[in-house]
Amino acid sequence: MVDFADSPEQAVFRAEVENFFAQNFPAALSVNDNDDPRTREEGEDGPEPEVRKAASKQWRAALVDKGWIAPAWPKKYGGAELSPMEQFILNETIAERGAPRMGVPDVGSTIMVHGTEEQKAEFLPPMVRGESRWCQGYSEPGSGSDLASLQTRAIRDGDDFVINGQKIWTSGAHLANMIFALVRTDPEAPKHRGITYLLFPMTTPGISVRPLVQMSDARGFNETFFEDVRVPVKNAVGEINRGWYVGATHLDFERSSIGSAVGQMKMLDTLKDYLTKQRDAKGGQSRLGQPDSPRLEIADRYIEATVAKTLSQRVISMQARGLIPNHEASMTKVFSTEFNQRIARTATKALGLYGGVRGGDAPQYVPMGGRWGTMYLSSVSSTIAGGTSEIQRNVIATRGLGLPRG
């Protein structure tokens, strides 16, 4: 039998995390059932935005002091050198408490693997201090799933590259002050071998950003244009023309998403508690006790939450052995993002006609702050971002199962 209980060392660490939360986690950041998850991102406005902003700053400072803002990183770069299992315990507590997501961007982990000492010293500390905000310049209008066909050109000119071209779907480019981008440095080479991974400030002359508005009304991503943008050659991570492999490491980190499984279980708990308390018009039966009750569907979601957690634990155990999960990360990504969509569908269905209401002037008709209607819309894109579910299944089929390419 597999025993998922904490080992004695893990129990000691869990107690340390609990204690840290008790001492440092500001009450103003706690979630309640009526919180809208759209307010859960760091720095975004929510109810009482000033109070939350101040609390958010205070919480971030506590995490930075402890090194838990970058739990996996070496202490010399502001991290805490936690083991993957300790990171999981920390993430678990963060999700259980409904604490906002704070941390360092995945590009930091990529720099840690492929960057020079100078690059680590220059780029990692501002990430820890929350001074740099990064966006990802990978996709182009003609290159998404077939990313290696990208055309944004970088031509060497002395100690600089000069970049011309266009990226698309650049999440947060309008807020970012830094970008990591894949650019073509050798158009003659086979497509995977002429690409370089570059880091540069978004304030570099020649960069312009145009917003793309999503169907959930969010203004999450952008088109990003480069016109004669000069970037020092020393800002290339890894070897020039070998950036494809650096970019792939980044995607493996992005897809592993440790900790989301715990958050999903927490979401289900909140839904279950809300539905259990809901009564019919006469104040009798709970919604879950009625003949058309969604309880069997909720039971299915709980089974899936357990599967999601097991998949995450597999990724963690690989990281604990110093391995970078590849098709295992794809399994976690495809399962967890499709699972998010199923959770949103179950919740909106369970809440009936009001389930999809997301806002408006009559909050009494907006169950649980409208979070499920929002999640129903926003979860659609998660099976596309970071590589579509079809691409993940291709990775699992070919690299995981050894099946031939289609």
Ligand X SMILES: Cc1cc2nc3c(=O)[nH]c(=O)nc-3n(C[C@H](O)[C@H](O)[C@H](O)COP(=O)(O)OP(=O)(O)OC[C@H]3O[C@@H](n4cnc5c(N)ncnc54)[C@H](O)[C@@H]3O)c2cc1C
| HSE of 31, CA atoms in CB hemisphere, 13 A | 24
Closest Cα to residue 290, out of 299, 280, 305, 304? 280
Instruction: Quote the least distance from Cβ 24 to ligand X, whole Å.
Output: 31
Q: How far apart are CA 340 and CA 336, in angstroms?
A: 6
Exactly one of 68, 161, 200, 221 binds ligand X (CB under 6 A); that residue is: 221
Burial zone of 179 (CB within 10 Å; 0-12 exposed, 13-18 middle, 19+ buried): buried
Question: Which CB, 125 or 144, lies closer to ligand X?
Answer: 144
Question: How many CB atoms sit inside 10 A of residue 67's CB?
Answer: 18
Give the range of 83-91, 104-112, 164-172, 259-267 binding ligand X by CB under 6 A. 164-172
Tell which positions 343-382 bind ligand X, by CB under 6 A. Answer: 381
Site membership for ligand X, residue 222 (CB under 6 A): no
Catalytic residue among 86, 140, 254, 304: 254
Give the range of 32-40, 162-170, 257-265, 297-305 binding ligand X by CB under 6 A. 162-170
Question: To which residue do tokens 């991102």 refer?
Answer: 41
Q: How far apart are CA 100 and CA 41, in angstroms?
A: 6
Q: How far apart are CA 79 and CA 69, in angstroms?
A: 7
Using alpha carbons only, give the angle 56, 386, 130 rounded to the nearest 5 degrees: 25
Question: Binding pattern to ligand X, positions 105-144, x when CB under 6 A?
Answer: ------------------------------xxxxx----x
Q: How far apart are CA 62 and CA 44, in angstroms?
A: 19
Question: Which CB, 37 or 137, lies closer to ligand X?
Answer: 137
Annotation marks residue 254 as catalytic: yes
Instruction: Quote the least distance from Cβ 68 to ligand X, whole Å.
Output: 25
Burial zone of 92 (CB within 10 Å; 0-12 exposed, 13-18 middle, 19+ buried): buried
Site membership for ligand X, residue 217 (CB under 6 A): no
Q: How far apart are CA 92 and CA 85, in angstroms?
A: 10
Residue 134 host element (H or E): strand 134-137
DSSP state of 400: I
Question: Which CB, 227 or 390, lies closer to ligand X?
Answer: 390
Instruction: Quote the least distance from Cβ 2 to ligand X, whole Å.
Output: 34
Question: Which CB, 280 or 390, lies closer to ligand X?
Answer: 390
Calculate the CA 122 to chain-centre distance.
24
Give the range of 52-60, 83-91, 111-119, 385-393 binding ligand X by CB under 6 A. 385-393
DSSP state of 5: S
Number of residues that bind ligand X (CB under 6 A): 20
Instruction: Quote the least distance from Cβ 141 to ligand X, whole Å.
Output: 8
Closest Cα to residue 198, out of 211, 185, 215, 181? 181
Instruction: Quote the least distance from Cβ 391 to ligand X, whole Å.
Output: 6
Exactly one of 257, 319, 374, 394 binds ligand X (CB under 6 A); that residue is: 394
Exactly one of 169, 244, 253, 376 binds ligand X (CB under 6 A); that residue is: 169
Exactly one of 385, 397, 398, 400 binds ligand X (CB under 6 A); that residue is: 385
**Residue nearest ligand X by beta-carbon distance:** 144
Exactly one of 10, 34, 151, 171 binds ligand X (CB under 6 A); that residue is: 171
DSSP state of 29: G
Give the range of 103-111, 285-293, 331-339, 388-396 binding ligand X by CB under 6 A. 388-396
Residues recognised as catalytic: 254
Residues that bind ligand X (CB under 6 A): 135-139, 144-145, 167, 169-171, 221, 381, 384-385, 387-388, 390-391, 394
